[in-house]
């Protein structure tokens, strides 16, 4: 007995990572199907030691599929996720299309696993924004003990969060710096090579960007609606891995030592915090890893009950693909799906 799993967007950065993680974690699937747009149909992608031929989304029948891992962008998800859900297949969506829908649970397994029971209204579960996912993993154990009142976060987000074309743009621009080649800007509004850009997503009327708004709304939905949060989201010339400088105010006193002990014992977190040169994590070391890393834990003496810390994770894994697979594992472990007979 096993499950049939479809990965939609299988030719993209996150889709390929989903396939790798399904294989790495020996997900209990009888069959895994790679799906993408019609123009990508027929391409080949790796799944463990197998090669899968990509099928077209608009002609695929989901009626015998148990779980669909959706990573094909917001517009595609808006069109297809409800349709797929109506066939009985549970969609775990990596886009922002349904994160704020009242009938769709938004889940990080280490943070709010109990919310998963609400998936059956639409057969859709939402995966949070990559920058929010690692943040709430780090905040949850602290909030449970000392109750967070306010968070100020500045992000340092890698270009892979904007897709493969964004990674290509960083590579090409970096090469152009050294070869005096032509500097083209298509994915980003300014040059990203040897630069930082304080804009991710579109600007809103209040001067914040949509990425910043997402962090606020998603933290409130998953962790606590009473938490006040302000974010400044910045794109940096790093290929993989998001970093965050986080300042937290609590209702109750909590020392750096207490916080460190809580974080060390929390699921999904590794503390790397030696107060010496190099005694912290950077995106380079976090790339390819599953954990959310926390470093530089220290008191903030400018406020009552304040702490600051540094948080790093692989945005393609915990920020996207890994979290999606972990949600799928929850569906199975909690027996929320019916197994289908194994193929003969």
Q: Is 315 annotated as a binding residue?
A: yes
* DSSP code for 114: G
Helix extents (H) in 58-111: 74-86
Nearest to 154 by CA among 247, 212, 231: 231
Catalytic residue among 68, 143, 233, 242: 242
Query: CA of 216: how far to CAs of 55, 131, 228, 298, 307, in Å?
Result: 37, 11, 8, 23, 19
Task: Note if 252 is an active site residue.
Answer: no
Q: Is 95 annotated as a binding residue?
A: no
Work out whether the CA dihedral 261, 264, 265, 269 comes out positive or negative.
positive
Q: Is 39 annotated as a binding residue?
A: yes
**Residue 235, beta-bridge partner list:** 157, 197
Q: Is 117 annotated as a binding residue?
A: no
Q: Residues 117, 93: contact at Cβ < 8 Å?
A: no
Task: Note if 143 is an active site residue.
Answer: no
Q: Is 235 annotated as a binding residue?
A: yes
Q: Is 202 annotated as a binding residue?
A: no
Catalytic residue among 130, 143, 233, 311: 130
Q: Is 99 annotated as a binding residue?
A: yes
d(CA 269, CA 256): 16
Beta-carbon contacts of residue 306 (< 8 Å; ≥ 6 apart)? 247, 248, 249, 250, 299, 300
- Joined together, the tokens standing for residue 21 give 């993680």
Q: Is 14 annotated as a binding residue?
A: yes
Work out whether the CA dihedral 57, 63, 65, 71 comes out positive or negative.
positive
Q: Is 71 annotated as a binding residue?
A: no
* DSSP code for 106: B
Q: Edge to edge, what strands does the sheet with 90-93 contain? A: 55-56, 29-36, 3-8, 67-70, 90-93, 124-126
Place of tokens 């199975």: 332
Provide the pairing of β-strand 55-56 with 29-36.
parallel
Q: Is 161 annotated as a binding residue?
A: yes
User: Would you list which residues are annotated within the binding site for substrate?
Assistant: 157, 235
> Residues annotated as binding site for phosphate?
99
Active site members? 130, 242
Annotated binding site, which residues?
Answer: 11-14, 39-40, 99, 157, 160-161, 235, 315
């Amino acid at each position: 007995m096993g499950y049939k799993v479809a990965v939609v967007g299988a030719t993209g950065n996150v889709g390929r990572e989903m396939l790798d993680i399904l294989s790495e974690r020996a997900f209990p699937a009888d069959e895994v199907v790679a799906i993408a747009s019609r123009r990508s149909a027929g391409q080949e992608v790796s799944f463990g030691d197998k090669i899968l031929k990509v099928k077209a989304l608009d002609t695929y029948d989901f009626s015998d599929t148990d779980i669909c891992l959706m990573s094909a962008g917001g517009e595609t998800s808006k069109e297809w996720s409800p349709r797929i859900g109506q066939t009985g297949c549970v969609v775990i969506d990596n886009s922002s299309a349904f994160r704020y829908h009242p009938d769709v649970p938004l889940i990080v397994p280490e943070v709010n696993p109990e919310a998963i029971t609400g998936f059956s209204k639409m057969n859709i579960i939402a995966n949070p924004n990559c920058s929010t996912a690692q943040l709430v993993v780090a905040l949850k154990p602290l909030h449970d003990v000392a109750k967070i009142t306010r968070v100020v976060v500045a992000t340092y987000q890698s270009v892979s969060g904007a897709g493969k074309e964004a990674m290509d743009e960083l590579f090409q621009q970096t090469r152009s710096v050294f070869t005096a080649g032509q500097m083209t800007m298509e994915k980003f509004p300014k040059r990203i090579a040897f630069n930082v850009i304080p804009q991710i997503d579109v600007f809103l009327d209040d001067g914040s960007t949509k990425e910043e708004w997402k962090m606020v709304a998603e933290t409130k939905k998953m962790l606590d609606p009473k938490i006040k949060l302000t974010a400044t989201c910045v794109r940096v010339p790093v290929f993989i891995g998001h970093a965050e400088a986080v300042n937290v105010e609590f209702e109750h006193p909590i020392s750096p030592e207490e916080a460190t002990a809580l974080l060390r014992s929390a699921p999904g977190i590794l503390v790397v915090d030696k107060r010496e040169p190099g005694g912290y994590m950077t995106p380079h070391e976090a790339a390819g890893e599953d954990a959310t890393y926390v470093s530089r834990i220290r008191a903030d003496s400018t406020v009552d009950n304040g702490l600051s810390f540094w948080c790093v994770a692989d945005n393609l894994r915990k920020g996207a693909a890994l979290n999606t697979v972990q949600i799928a594992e929850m569906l199975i472990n909690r027996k929320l799906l019916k197994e289908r007979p194994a193929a003969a």
